[in-house]
Amino acid sequence: MKLIILDRDGVINFGSDQFIKSPDEWKPISGSLEAIARLTREGWRVVVATNQSGLARGLFEMATLNAIHSKMHKAVAQAGGRIEAVFYCPHAADMNCDCRKPKSGMFDEIAARYGSDLRGVPAIGDSLRDLQAAANVGASPWLVRTGKGERTLAAGGLPENTPVYADLGEAVERLLNPAA
């Protein structure tokens, strides 16, 4: 099974320091939907792992998060792709849960759902906590420069051997054509 894990905000869609709080605020990054469609055509199972502390902070309700994800699923489908599942952490950072990245709870849940060891599975994110969560379970952390990626790269401290790509499209190109 070919499995890939993507962060949402800053990788698939534009992020916001004020959170994505409505479907209208969810706007795909150029090329991201096509990259997911390409993965789908090549037989990859695409899942999303995203921290969504806006729920715990009362910035939006569960119905709104579902509507945002529905918009994302439809946009990806219209491009010819498929996101199989969205795993999310609804907790605020101070709640000390096991699922909020950089902890590995969401990744453990993905491994259990797919009956798969995540060692070497590409996990693409734009923040250090995305990369750390991947590294914590032996997945392969990949950084994109979109979203918070430039700030993450500038701050340093990336897990060892983390490749860096301009965006999801470039990362998918390298994944599918490693010699290119």
50 with 10: CB under 8 angstroms? Answer: no
Q: Interior CA angle at 34 toward 60 and 44, to 5°? A: 90
What number of residues does the chain have?
180
Residue percentage of the chain with pLDDT more than 70: 99
pTM across the whole model: 0.97
Q: What is the pLDDT of residues 93-125, one digit of tens each?
A: 999 999 999 999 999 999 999 999 999 999 999
Beta strands in 24-76 (DSSP E): 44-51
- Structural domain of residue 154, as residue ranges? 2-176
Q: What share of the chain is helix, strand, coil (3-state, %, to 5)?
A: 40, 20, 45
As annotated, the active-site residues are 7, 9
The CATH number linked to 30 is 3.40.50.1000
Cβ atoms of residues 18 and 25 within 8 Å:
no
pLDDT at 152 over 80: yes
Rg, C-alpha atoms of the chain: 15
Integer Cα distance of 132 and 17 in angstroms? 20
Q: What is the count of structural domains for the chain?
A: 1
pLDDT-derived band of residue 179, with 50, 70 and 90 as boundaries?
Answer: confident
Alpha helices, DSSP H, located in the chain: 32-41, 62-78, 105-114, 128-136, 149-155, 168-176
